[in-house]
Amino acid sequence: MARYILARLWQGLLVVLGVTLVVFVVTRVVGNPVDLMLPLSATAEQRAAFAQQIGLDQPLPLQFARFVGDLVTLDFGESVWQRRPAAEVVFERLPNTMLLIAAGLGAALLLALPLGIIAATRPDGPVDRLIVSAGLLGLSMPQFWVGLILITIFAVNLKWLPTSGATTWAHLILPAVTLGLAPLARLTMLTRSAVIDELNKPYVKTARAKGMPAHRVLGIHALRNVLIGVLTLAGWELILALSGYTVVVETVFAWPGLGLTAIQAIQRGDLFLVQAIVFVIAALIVIINLALDLAFKLIDPRIDVR
Amino acid sequence: MLLPRLCLAGAVALGTAGLAVPAVAQDITIAIGSEPSTLDPQLRDDGGERQVNDNIYETLMARSATGELMPGLAEAAPTQIDETTWEFELRDGVTFHNGEPFNADSVVTSVERIIDPANNSEQMGYLNTISGAEKVDDDTVRITTTGPDPILPSRMYWMKMIPAEYGKTGNIGEEPVGTGPYKFVSWDRGNDIVLEANADYWDGEPAVDKVTYRFVGESGTRLSGLMAGEFDVITNLLPEFVSTVPNAAAVDGLETSVLILGTDNEGPMSDPKVREALNLAIDRDAMVEGLFQGYATVAGGHHINPRAFGFNADLEPYAYDPEKARELIEEAGAKGKTIRLVGESGRWLKSREQIETVAQYWTEIGLNVEIEVQEFSQYLKSLMGDGPRPDAIFVANSNELMDADRESSFIYHMEGAAASNSDAEMAKMIDDARVTTDTGEREALYHAIFQKGRDLNYTAPLFNLQDIYGMSERMSWQPRTDQKLLIKEMSVSE
């Protein structure tokens, strides 16, 4: 087990370095970062001096080697836009993003399991149809649009919740709902179909034939198998959220997280901050993947994780 | 029965009197498009920083709401000692928020710090002619320039003054200290910045007690926040939403949109007749109504802001004459020729719409127009790169110093970063204007420069844009030409 974890961590490190290398090259090849970081009126000398100051005059391999060397100490360089260490900016905004994801996906997961099970126990009944229809609706609406509709209803018209920002718990509700709606729909549908599948399997029928009550069949035997699928999807949702969904939600709700910061850093050509954000997100995704594998092992010891 | 009534009347009287004595606290919230990255007033040149810092710090020279230059922390306009030296008398009895006096030492510290190359200030584009400052006595200071610089007073409208002692050792980027009407209270990164009124402000305590800045980049979210009653002022309101918001105000702004024509290019653009036809083909009045709902004015025949020094009021806006434009295109043998129009989208108000509409007008006079709306860094290369120039390039040009120098040298001067001509005579005129200290002579030079630019159709000027602000019902404020959000000029009714 320990060897497995070490090997996966090593693979993960290579993945993170690979991603970082791609971003490193792209940020330097597409457009000139110096042009983006300096005002239009800057002179050629000012541009040259600035390029030298931030090390952009060095050959690319040397720049990358230095970057990788600094990573050991989590030194991502100075954010040119923020005029402070990029790491400081990343670790200041990361908790906001994690909070948003935890609230959105956490609620989605907590609701999806009972909803999916309820729907599955009476397939094609009125409750099932209602849940399936709502799920389809949740899947087909684009996130930014959901966000704007929620703002219009709950903030502008009803004035129950704030439109944007992150000052109180009330500020978390609308962005978390926006973020969690599509995952909730997907997780509910998956739970529903997985439960229906399991309940039709011979072992369940046998157990029921022996007189075991329905809720025990579901709770003891079927649910464990269902959970594996649901958790896999939840992990995937977490990765999707980290690598993109939060950008949209954070922008619409002016939520001061990493996604919004990434967009601002890209707009300003702040390549050190962009690199730092990509590195941290890539590292998180690798860690989440590993954690999921281990979680499966805990749920079902038969799964081979060597 | 009577006793309770008396009591009630008494209570009402007392209550009313009680209300009348202490003024109701006036707290407002302003949504700005981007969070400042630092509150150091001498580093960045960006919207968010200025919108906050303009209330904390002050400058030697100021501007009225309509743009006239006037004394700020200086007692009066400066006197010119020689070609490269200007002397400022400083206002008496002004103190910084930390109690330090405002005097010649603070001016010297401010000047020396901002021009120090190690400081790498983004504002040097506005201040790069300044070579230093020296104290004459506590209330008098001299600022020197590298050469004759007639617009030094305008430059001092840009340079914010920091305290001598705190400026050297304090954490000025996080805990700013100025002389302005508002004092820094707190900065919750990502969420808000709070300022409170400076009760000891030299020009009298301002009406609004406390202001909270919220950072909302998405214009739709800013609008929602205003509609939900969370914000009192939002910036960059789109013209189509003016009738939706509780209250709105607009003012002629600093931006002028213009198309730079590739005068040096081979093919049709080298022919002045074609360039004239391009100008005559555009129905600018229709665009003002159609695109901006009236919140813009047709540029006055050249791309200079009408309130900037050097604006030539004699130059009429271009007429809309598609017939004549077609004839000119025929005469020049340019019918059916292809021209390339480059611009960007998302950074300036309705830039894509302006580009597409102009392309349509140009197509109507018989040209084949290829539009390229580029990503910003690619666009910067098109605008300022050395490669082949696009035949026409869209720019929203703004002029913070309100002097024609920047606009002429950037776009008309053959060595200007965005120029598309190789007119040495024009360049010489611009160079002369830059160092001429006699105001009348200098103005005449600019008038001649812009007449020439128009005669040869170096650009196709489009519009002077208005800045539109959305406000809550209780706000009362007249926006300023220079885009400053000066809270001391605002008040709220409760």
Nearest CA in chain A to B346: A267
Q: Which among A47, A164, A248 is the top mutation candidate for probing chain B, defined by the most B β-carbons within 10 Å of its own β-carbon?
A: A164
Q: What is the pLDDT of residues B102-113, one digit of tens each?
A: 999 999 999 999
Judge whether residue B445 has pLDDT over 80: yes
Let me know: does A292 contact A276? Beta carbons within 8 Å.
no
B203 alpha-carbon distance from chain centroid: 24
**What mean pLDDT is predicted for residues B27-41?**
92
Q: What is the pLDDT of residues B327-372, one digit of tens each?
A: 999 999 999 999 999 999 878 889 999 999 999 999 999 999 999 9
* Residues from chain A contacting residue B122 (CB–CB below 8 Å): 38-39
Count CB atoms within 10 A of the CB of residue A260. 27
Map residue A38 onto helix, strand or coil. coil
Q: pLDDT tier at B120 (50, 70, 90 boundaries)? A: confident
- Percentage of residues in chain B having pLDDT higher than 70: 95
Judge whether residue B454 has pLDDT over 80: yes
pLDDT at B11: 44
From the list B72, B66, B115, B111, the residue with the least C-alpha distance to B91 is B72
**What mean pLDDT is predicted for residues B261-289?**
94
Q: pLDDT tier at B23 (50, 70, 90 boundaries)? A: low
Q: Determine if residue B267 is left, alpha or beta; phi over 0 gives left, psi from -120 to 50 gives alpha, anything else beta.
A: left
pLDDT at A88: 93
* Residues from chain A contacting residue B47 (CB–CB below 8 Å): none
Exposed (0-12), middle (13-18) or buried (19+): which is B7, by Cβ within 10 Å? exposed
Report yes or no on whether pTM surpasses 0.90: no
3-state per-residue secondary structure call for chain B: CHHHHHHHHHHHHHHHHHHHCCCCCCEEEEEECCCCCCCCCCCCCCHHHHHHHHHHCCECEEECCCCCEEECCECCCCEEEECCEEEEEECCCCECCCCCECCHHHHHHHHHHHHCHHHCCCCHHHHCCEEEEEEEECCEEEEEECCCCCCHHHHCCCCECCCHHHHHHCCCCCCCCCCCCEEEEEEECCCEEEEEECCCCCCCCCCCCEEEEEECCCHHHHHHHHHCCCCCEECCCCHHHCCCCCEEEEEEEEEEEEEEECCCCCCHHHCHHHHHHHHHCCCHHHHHHHHHCCCEEECCCCCCCCCCECCCCCCCCCCCCHHHHHHHHHHCCCCCCEEEEEEECCCCCCHHHHHHHHHHHHHHCCCEEEEEEECHHHHHHHHHCCCCCCCEEEEEEECCCCEHHHHHHHHCCCCCCCCCCCCHHHHHHHHHHHHCCCHHHHHHHHHHHHHHHHHCCCEEEEEEEEEEEEECCCEECCCCCCCCCCHHHCEECC
pLDDT at A305: 54
**What mean pLDDT is predicted for residues A229-238?**
90
C-alpha to C-alpha distance for A39 and B75, rounded to whole angstroms = 32
pLDDT at A39: 65
Q: Does A93 touch chain B (CB under 8 A)?
A: yes
Map residue A79 onto helix, strand or coil. strand
Q: Which among A35, A83, A163 is the top mutation candidate for probing chain B, defined by the most B β-carbons within 10 Å of its own β-carbon?
A: A163
pLDDT at A291: 87
A118 token code pair: 């309820």
Let me know: does B107 contact B163? Beta carbons within 8 Å.
no
B134 token code pair: 């020296």
Interface of B with A (CB under 8 A): 34-35, 37-38, 40, 43, 45, 117, 120, 122, 124-126, 128, 173, 188-192, 214-218, 220-221, 224-225, 227-230, 375-378, 380-381, 384, 406, 410, 417-418
**What mean pLDDT is predicted for residues B426-448?**
94
Count CB atoms within 10 A of the CB of residue A205. 12
**A165–B191: do the CB atoms touch at under 8 Å?**
yes
B41 token code pair: 């007033």
pLDDT at B2: 35
Let me know: does A292 contact A235? Beta carbons within 8 Å.
yes
pLDDT at B24: 65
User: For residue B256, which phi and psi values (nearest 5 degrees)?
Assistant: -125, 125
Let me know: does B239 contact B468? Beta carbons within 8 Å.
yes
**What mean pLDDT is predicted for residues B463-484?**
94
pLDDT at B13: 42
A10 token code pair: 């090593």
pLDDT at A294: 83
Q: pLDDT tier at A261 (50, 70, 90 boundaries)? A: very high
Nearest-CA distance from A181 to chain B in Å?
Answer: 20
**A269–B192: do the CB atoms touch at under 8 Å?**
no
Q: pLDDT tier at A187 (50, 70, 90 boundaries)? A: very high
Q: pLDDT tier at A52 (50, 70, 90 boundaries)? A: confident
Q: What is the pLDDT of residues B232-253, one digit of tens each?
A: 999 989 999 999 999 999 999 9
C-alpha to C-alpha distance for A215 and A205, rounded to whole angstroms = 13
Nearest beta carbon to residue B227 from set A50, A156, A260: A156
* Residues from chain A contacting residue B190 (CB–CB below 8 Å): 92-93, 96, 166, 256
Q: Does A40 touch chain B (CB under 8 A)?
A: yes
Count CB atoms within 10 A of the CB of residue B126. 22
pLDDT at A215: 73
Nearest beta carbon to residue B190 from set A93, A155, A156: A93
Q: What is the pLDDT of residues B145-180, one digit of tens each?
A: 999 999 999 999 999 999 999 998 999 999 999 999
**What mean pLDDT is predicted for residues B56-70?**
94
Q: pLDDT tier at B5 (50, 70, 90 boundaries)? A: very low
Q: What is the pLDDT of residues A188-200, one digit of tens each?
A: 999 999 988 888 8
Q: What is the pLDDT of residues A147-157, one digit of tens each?
A: 999 999 999 99
**What mean pLDDT is predicted for residues A239-260?**
92
Please list, in sequence order, all residues whose beta carbon lies within 8 angstroms of the beta carbon of residue B220, skipping any fewer than 6 positions away.
A148, A252
Q: Does A98 touch chain B (CB under 8 A)?
A: no
